[in-house]
Amino acid sequence: MNINSDNSTTATPTTDWHIKTGKLSFRVNNDYLFRALLQSSNHVLKALIASLLHWDISDIKSAEIQNPVELGQTIDSRKYYLDIKVFLNNSRIMNLEMQIINEHNWPERSLSYLCRTFDNLNKGEDYLQVMPAHQIGITEFSPLPESSEFHATYQLLNIRSYEKYTDKFTLSVVDLTQVDKATEEDKKYQMDQWALMFKATTWEDLNMLATQNPAIDEAVTQIYKLTQEEKIRLQMEAREEYYRNERTNQRLLEIANEKLKQATEKLEQANAEKEQAKAEKEQANTRIAELEAKLKAAGLE
């Protein structure tokens, strides 16, 4: 029984992932696997970017990752970030990031990435030469829950006239929790299929998507190869451990916040009761003073 590569029930190792079944050891939303995939297959990189931008893949002449990492090398969070910087068609810069843990700072974080990406002038160049910058975050949470969308894009606009300030500064969010809200335009460019690939939990899920989309078939083939490499698997496992720790920390923080909220409510209630008792005492003293005055006036004191 093969237990090294995944939790499937295949009796012997196989080089053809299409016949595999069962639960995936690593979902494609693992940010290390996401980076390894796009770094290992330029065609998959182009296909995903074309889908995200609602372009035909023929519109992408070149896509070069500007910040590659040595796959399999231990991640040092002080040195490496898993966002991907892509030089597209020699004319624009994109920043891609997979983020599955909600740290409740995505608007600020994504803007920081976008601003760094937009600051792309070389010494001596004119401001008009700045290349368009586009930050795309693929998240497993809704950064703005009150107005959640599957695919939201933001640019600088005049808040009264809605006139666009510039086409060169763009930020997008693909919310994997809202795939059911994909528009017909999103579906035309297979964005929903890519999102479902990132959400997939079984080989059957991936196989179904691969039959519909040759680029996803190529992506999963590459993913399978990557997950067979021990050094890369170790880094993916490290990321999974990081996710577990972050989720645990978030749960502990939520529990602590709930206890603090309850304690604050009890304190506020106790203070309110104390203030009420104080007011009632003051009323009683006032009544006593009034009665004493009446007794004195009646000569009965």
Tens-digit pLDDT profile for residues 51-64: 999 999 999 999 99
From first CA to last CA, the distance across the chain in angstroms is 101
The predicted structure's pLDDT at residue 173 = 97
In this prediction, residue 260 has a pLDDT band, given cuts at 50, 70 and 90, of: confident
Q: What is the largest CA-CA distance in the chain?
A: 110
Which residues have C-beta within 8 Å of that of residue 28, sequence separation ≥ 6? 34, 37, 197, 198, 200, 206, 219, 223
In this prediction, residue 5 has a pLDDT band, given cuts at 50, 70 and 90, of: very low
Q: 102: buried, middle or exposed (CB in 10 Å: 19+, 13-18, 0-12)? A: middle
Q: Which tens digits make up the pLDDT trace of 186-242?
A: 999 999 999 999 999 999 999 999 999 999 999 999 999 999 999 988 888 888 887
Q: What is the mean pLDDT of residues 96-117?
A: 93
What is the overall mean pLDDT for the chain? Answer: 88
For the chain, give every domain's residue range.
20-228
CB 85 within 8 A of CB 94: yes
The predicted structure's pLDDT at residue 296 = 78
The predicted structure's pLDDT at residue 219 = 97
Whether the pLDDT of residue 10 is over 60: the answer is no
Percent of the chain with pLDDT over 90: 59
In this prediction, residue 265 has a pLDDT band, given cuts at 50, 70 and 90, of: confident
Residue type, 9: T
Residue 243 or 207, more confident: 207
Q: What is the mean pLDDT of residues 240-246?
A: 80
Residue 216 or 262, more confident: 216
Which residue in the block uniquely carries the two structure tokens 């519909």? 212
In this prediction, residue 78 has a pLDDT band, given cuts at 50, 70 and 90, of: very low
Rounded distance between C-alpha atoms, residue 236 and residue 221, angstroms: 17
Cα–Cα distance list, 35 to 32, 83, 95, 162, 215 (Å): 5, 8, 12, 36, 16
Q: 23: buried, middle or exposed (CB in 10 Å: 19+, 13-18, 0-12)? A: middle
The predicted structure's pLDDT at residue 76 = 60
Cα–Cα distance list, 128 to 133, 158, 166, 168, 199 (Å): 13, 21, 12, 10, 40
Whether the pLDDT of residue 282 is over 70: the answer is yes
Work out the number of other CB atoms within 10 angstroms of the CB of residue 143: 19
Residue 263 or 130, more confident: 130
Residue 297 or 218, more confident: 218
Q: What is the mean pLDDT of residues 23-46?
A: 94
Rounded distance between C-alpha atoms, residue 93 and residue 76, angstroms: 25
Whether the pLDDT of residue 34 is over 90: the answer is yes
Least confident of 8-17, 229-238, 250-259: 8-17
Residues in a beta bridge with 153: 172
Cα–Cα distance list, 185 to 57, 134, 170 (Å): 15, 19, 19
The predicted structure's pLDDT at residue 130 = 94
Least confident of 12-16, 142-146, 203-207: 12-16
Q: What is the mean pLDDT of residues 102-126?
A: 92
The DSSP-derived string for 119-139 is: --PPTT--GGGPPPEEEEEEE
